[in-house]
Structures are given as structure tokens and as C-alpha cells.
Copies of this chain bind each other. A is one copy, B any other.
Amino acid sequence: MKKRITLKQIAKELNYSISTVSKALKNSPEIGIDAKTKIQAYAKLYNYKPNNVALSLKNRKTKTIGVIIPEMVHYFFAKVIIGIEKFAKKKGYNVIISLSNESFEKEVINIETLVDGQIDGLIISLSKETLLKQDFYHINETIDLDIPIILFDRISSNVYCDKVIIDDVEGAKKATNHLIQNGRKSILLITTEDYVSVGNLRTTGYIQALKENNIELDTDLIIKVEDKKSTEEELHNIEERINEVLKLKSNIDGIFAVNEIYAASALKVLKKNNIKIPEEVGVIGFTDGVISRFSDPSLTTVDQNGEKIGKQACKLLIERLNNTNNIPYQTKIIETSITSRESSK
């Protein structure tokens, strides 16, 4: 093993002081030309690289951004991260990612480990468990420590910081309207329990769209899924419930699912029951992911523009990082758009 060379060693070897070496390596005008060349040559030869830990201990700056997301399998999060990475790279920041696995405890641990020393700022999408507990102490404490946090997608109004979201209500409205404009009248909503903010908001959008189109709300047409983790077992559960409602309400002619897993499940149940898509039932999902693209029929979806979200979040963060004076907190809303595919006509 070849230990990394330090300033001290260079200094000793070349008979300069540590500070001279340090300055020479930073090309400080204080240092004489030959000292500089000699030191720089030696450093290059031995492949000197400053020890970042020591640097952060001094500067409290790491030029890296931490991202905490609930899980990796969602295409949406992948997209967001691509957006973050692109922007960060342009600005000379590095990105590291941590997973909360939808767990409150893991989220707390992740923040703790990242916060001291590893990162300058954080971009977070809250875990379901955190949303359920409504405990944001770890977030607020971090902000208090002057580590900027940007929340995206899964946010809470009980945290004061910059946020990037899509207009979930509007997106859900668009989706529902899309089905209504296709002549659908009896639209099944597959959503999450209310504590998941996005589920909640999308439900609101659905209800608003119905109201605006003078369609009476039938609460039997709303399936609220308790989704802590999307395990094989739970998937099966969801399908069961969709199946039941489908049996109960034979006049259903549209389905709006608040994510693509639910939408895909709906597709599956529909096909199993030999119901023609989109002729008999039109289906629309939320989140433009791999499943939607590759499903058969391919799924019409509300595209969340994950990459834009990531870019915006990263931009807000870096702005805040460069402005120690207090800019007021902002909430940016990213437009959604409908990606029309085979599952709706």
C-alpha cells in the first residue's frame, strides 16, 4: 500500500515549511517562482491530493450535495436524480444519494451521517413513515444548523424551507378531465391513504374535476391503498380490491391511478376480466415510468417531469448555498403534462 502524500512530507523532503508548500500549491503570489516550480513538480510527481476531510474540518464546505429518497425502484426518483446530477455537475458539485427505504428511522440516520461533514446541503423527498408520523424534528434541526434543505415531491407544510413540487391537484384534474373528455362518466380512483400528501392532493384533483363536470362523487369508486412498501403481497392485495370494486360497479368506464404500479395492476385486472382497454375502460396513470412505456397496452400517464424537478431543486439549493443572507423560502411548481398512449383513446 502506498499512503497518500501530505503537505508535511513534501515540506520535509524539500526543506520548506508546510505553509510555504500549501501556498505554493495554491499558486499564491507570495511564493517565489523557483520554490513554486519545485514544489509543484514534486507534488505532481508524487500525485499529491489534498485530504478533503482536513479541508472540510477547516472550511465546512465539501462541494457535495446529499440526496435522500425513499426508494430506488421508482423511475420518477431516478429521473429527479438525473436532473439533480446534471445541474450539479455544471456547477461543480458532486452528488451522493442515500435511501430512507420509506423508514423514518433510516431517514434520521441518513441525515445525521450526511450532515456532519459529508455535504453542504440536502435535497430530500420525505419517507412515507415520516409523513405518517408528522415528525419533522430531524429536518428542522438540520435547517437550524444552517444546512439548507430542499424538499421535493413528498413535502410537508410543517417544514419551512424551499420546496419543489408538481401541482398534484392540477395534474390529477388533467388526468380526470382527460378521461371525462373521452366520454367516461364512472371513473374509478386508485389512490393512497390521505397521509401521503401526493395521494391526498391527487384525490382532491379527481374530486374537483368531477365537480366541475357535474359528475356526482361516488365514494365507492375510490380505493385508498395503505402503501408502506410495494411488496409482491401488497400488489396482490391491490389487485384483489380493484377486482372487487369492478364486480360491484359494473358501469366503470375509466380508471385513474395515482401511480404507475396501481395503473399496471388495474390493467392486469381488467385484462383478466376480458375488459377491453381502452374501448370499455380507459386507464390513466401518474408518473411516466418504465412500466407505463412497456405495458400492454401502453399507459397514458401524467408526466411529472422528474428531471425538471431535480434541476429546479438543485438550482434552489446551490443558490441558497451561495447566498448566506436569507432569501425567503420559495416553493416552485413544475408543470405536469399528459403523455397519451394506448390505454386511453
Binding stretch for chain B, among A45-53, A182-190, A245-253: A45-53
Contact status B57-A81, CB under 8 Å: no
Q: How far is the CB of A127 from chain B (nearest CB, A)?
A: 14
Please give the count of copies of this chain that the complex contains.
2
Contact with B along A144-174 (1 / 0, CB 8 A): 1110000000000000000000000000000
Interface residues on A, range: 35 or more
> Residues of A at under 8 Å CB distance from B?
1-4, 49, 51-54, 56-57, 64, 71-73, 75, 77-78, 81-82, 85, 89, 94-99, 101, 106, 109-110, 112-114, 116-118, 144-146, 264, 268, 271, 290-291, 294-296
Residues of chain B within 8 A (CB-CB) of A295 are 294-296
List B contacts of A56 (CB < 8 A): 53, 117
Central interface residue in A72, A85, A95, A112, by most chain B CB within 10 Å: A72
In the complex formed, the residue of B with least CB distance to A114 is B96
Residues of B with C-beta under 8 A to A114: 96
A115 to B161: give the CA distance in the assembly, Å. 31
A79 to chain B minimum Cβ distance, whole angstroms, is: 8
A2 contacts B145, CB within 8 Å? yes
Q: How far is the CA of A146 from the CA of B2 in the complex (A)?
A: 8
In the complex the two chains form, is A116's CB within 8 Å of B49's CB? yes
* Pick from B1, B89, B290, B296: contact of A146, CB under 8 Å: B1
Query: Are A118 and B118 in contact, with the CB atoms below 8 A?
Result: yes
Q: Is the CB of B113 within 8 A of A73?
A: no
In the bound complex, CA of A72 to CA of B83 (Å): 12
Give the shortest distance, in Å, between A321 (CB) and chain B (any CB). Answer: 14
Chain B nearest CB: distance from A67 CB in Å? 9
The complex places the Cα of A72 from the Cα of B49 at a distance, in Å, of 30
Would you call B72 and A78 a contact (CB within 8 A)?
A: yes
- Given known contacts A1-B144, A81-B99, A295-B296, what 14 new A-B pairs fall within 8 Å (CB)? A1-B145, A3-B145, A51-B117, A52-B117, A53-B117, A72-B72, A72-B82, A82-B101, A85-B99, A94-B98, A94-B113, A95-B99, A97-B98, A268-B294
